[in-house]
Chain A
Amino acid sequence: MAVSPLITRLGLALVTLFGVAVIVFCLLRVVPGDPVAMMISPSATPADIAALKARYGLDLGLGAQFMLWLGAVARGDFGTSISLRRDVLELIGERLPATLELAFAALVFGILAGGMLAIFGTLCRRTPLEPVLDFLNGLFLAVPDFVWALALVLLFGVFLPVLPISGRLDPSVPVAFATPFYLLESLARLNLAAVGDLLAHMAMPVLALGLPLAAIIVRTLKEALIEAMLQDYVLLARLKGMSPLRLVVQEALRNAVGPTLTLTGVQFTFMIGGTVIVERIFAYPGLGNMAIDAVINRDLPLIQGIVLTFGALFIAINIATDLIAALLNPRQAHG
């Protein structure tokens, strides 16, 4: 992608984010429920309530509230969480890395598992294994992430209790982290005990989030691979004596990966949405888990901050997907 389209994309991203901000702000104010009512003790006087409203700017008109909030956000001030009484940006900074590590682990798992199974499925074409694989693929496509999460809790938490069912890190693992990216930091420090424990905690949520992605990748990529395998250049390569695996990986894969890449970008944004419920089920201390608390507590500043963060993340994923697609397209990669 050349420079100027990238700038256009970034400009568009800002506009999109502004739209997200407007929608979130309006939605939160039309749904019923009074944040102040959640904070006060039953003995509060009307004067207490008014003081509280004034403190959070809730006594102003909607337009004024929005402008105030947007101006603050533009300066990097997302306000103070009503329920946790801490800076929203700080809270997000603590929780987002946990979610990012989880989501990226699930993405890597989904791509590797889905990619390998798609290649395997292409190699199994016209063998008795093909209908079996297709049937399993269809089954996996039909199971959503939260169902996986519950099934995995039953399987590895109850019947075969080999994996921790909640949290991110066992308290018995002695580490003081300098950053909130526990997994990356442990990897960088080669602290294998910590890496092992973190991965054990991530295993089930990663499977729950990654299996549906893998299933979609298998279906899309296999279809494209089979189509690509019919091309003349694959036939010529086969006549030259290339092995079936090399035919799929070297000849077909690069040309077949386009649609899968775009789809994976879209699915990744869905998956980040999925972290909300999956993190909740596994009590994983990520942004999604906090989002549910924020909604339960009607913590407007925190909800707004989290939703904007998710919005920015989605846009970043879209741009990254386009960039990678452009890099993989030989027409763009080689002039």
Chain B
Amino acid sequence: MRELSFSKALREAIQLAMRRDPNVFVLGEDVGISGGFGGGFTVTLGLSDEFGHARIMDTPISEIAIVGAAVGAAMMGMRPIAEMQYGDFVFCAMDQVINQAAKMCYMSNGQVSVPLVLRLPVGATTRGAQHAQSTEAYFMHTPGLKVVCPSNPYDAKGLLLSAVWDNNPVIFLEHKLLYGAGGGRKEKTSLDLYTHVPEQEYTLPLGSVAVKRAGTDVTILANMLMVHRALQAAQELASMGIDAGVIDVRCLAPLDIETLADSARKTHRVMIVEEDNQSGGWGAEVAARLTEMCFDDLDAPVLRVAAPDTPVPCAPALEKLYVPDVPRILQAARQLCQSSRENDLD
């Protein structure tokens, strides 16, 4: 079985989509330069050799123009895949995302649509506060956008293909420590993550979540890098007699809240692990909805393990404290299970 890294799986998805449909094109900074990087994290490396520099379009450092041009082209029937070199730079182009891309379909009463994909590398990797943020909550808050945040190469390819063929603006988050790209752009602390990725085209439904591990004692919800930490924690919890299930919330909008609620009803305890800041993060929304839907089934309040409400510090010693790690997840899970067991006795 063929295994691919996350960045190669994304590259293959783009390649297949571009072969199938001449309306698909890529735009961004340093995406197609010969001898260059293939975008921020090698995802488009080599694609300009096959598709040329017109369809792998290098732009100036002009985030407003990148997103704005993608919106315009998309309304005219193209399917642009735009890249921000780092997810944090999307804030330069926020008007184009929130006021333009997200609202066009609604404002036109459906006369136009904006089928674009905006790829955002996210996650803290000792580069400091302006190259580190996990930005999903901003987009989840905005009606009209779809938000996708895969955790592994297989999902990355299938979800990216779905995102390209979807007729709406899709914000596609990619965690830098998952790319596993070789060469100079490889992140020091990245996961060496390879999974089976079929060679052909396949799609995974936008709006789906993936049950990674069934459990009876507690449901852990996580996305991107945090899925891997949650799974590791679940394994260690098993040896402590706690049976934890893990669900990969790989799409935040639309959100398959039913699957999450089903699990919550089964385990009676829910924990959310997110790299985003805690206040107003995606976990806050999910916790609120689960509380609304299955309050009576829960033995304890939904518990979040999130980044603290600080900007991302650069110092490795501080960044380690910022990003939730396995010991923090373990501690929270034990606390959650213990306290609610005590409640059971009352």
Please indicate whether A and B come from the same complex rather than being unrelated chains: no
Chain B interface residues toward A at CB < 8 A = none
